[in-house]
Amino acid sequence: MKGKVIIFSAPSGSGKSTIIKYLMQQGLNLAFSISATSRPPRGTEQDGVEYFFLSPEDFRKRIDNDEFLEYEEVYEGRYYGTLKAQVERQLEAGQNVILDIDVHGGCRIKEFYGDRALSVFIQPPSVEALRQRLHHRGMDSPEVIEQRIDRAEYELGFAPKFDIVIVNDDLQIAQCQALERLRAFLGK
């Protein structure tokens, strides 16, 4: 039997990646969909692990070749996209594919896969809490953090379009809620 699709979207810094990492360790046969991006690697990120890091030219070439299920200019000049071949390969292998993508991409993938997909929005308790988390993470400059905050305020408006919304105030509670909903969706 072929796998299902789980979409996670959230403003950057809302704890989405931590929740996804936790879920991947729960024996749910989840495979992470590795997106392509034209942004440079951060910290310890490696090509083919967190992302396929492509040059802007290579990214554009793949858009022209219609290789993406969806793609988005999430930040100015920084493209992110889901490669069709990558997701289809994982689904065909019977894995449940988990995607960490921006709100537009999340809505588009949900539309594409319909009932075969569960879309989850992770909401930070407040914009101020988000700002503090991004500063604390120490991975971005203050300017980039403010860009991310602007973007977050816009993205929060998309929450009602998702199948479920989980407020990440207490990480452990948010992880439990996410696990429960995924188990129900996957019938595990």
86 near ligand 5GP (CB under 6 A): no
List the one residue from 102, 117, 119, 124 that touches ligand 5GP (CB under 6 A).
102
Stretch that binds ligand 5GP, among 54-62, 86-94, 101-109, 170-178 (CB under 6 A): 101-109
Could you say which of 28, 38, 70, 117 contacts ligand 5GP (CB under 6 A)?
70
CA atoms within 13 Å, Cβ hemisphere of 91: 14
**Sign of torsion, CA 35 36 42 43?**
positive
Minimum separation from the CB atom of position 74 to ligand 5GP (A): 4
Cβ proximity to ligand 5GP, 82 vs 175, nearer residue: 82
Q: In this structure, what DSSP letter does residue 146 have?
A: H
- Kindly tell me which of 77 and 188 has the beta carbon lying closer to ligand 5GP: 77
Residue 82 found at the interface with ligand 5GP (CB under 6 A)? yes
72, β-bridge pairs: 80
- Asked whether 174 and 124 are in contact (CB, 8 A), the reply is no
Counting residues that bind ligand 5GP (by CB under 6 A) gives 14
- Write the DSSP string, 63-116: HHTT-EEEEEEEETTEEEEEEHHHHHHHHHTTPEEEEE--HHHHHHHHHHHGGG
Q: Which of 113, 116, 106 is nearest to 160 (CA)?
A: 106
State which residue, 120 or 182, has the beta carbon closest to ligand 5GP.
120
Q: Provide the binding-site residues for ligand 5GP, judged by CB under 6 A.
A: 12, 35, 39, 70, 72, 74, 80-82, 100-102, 104-105
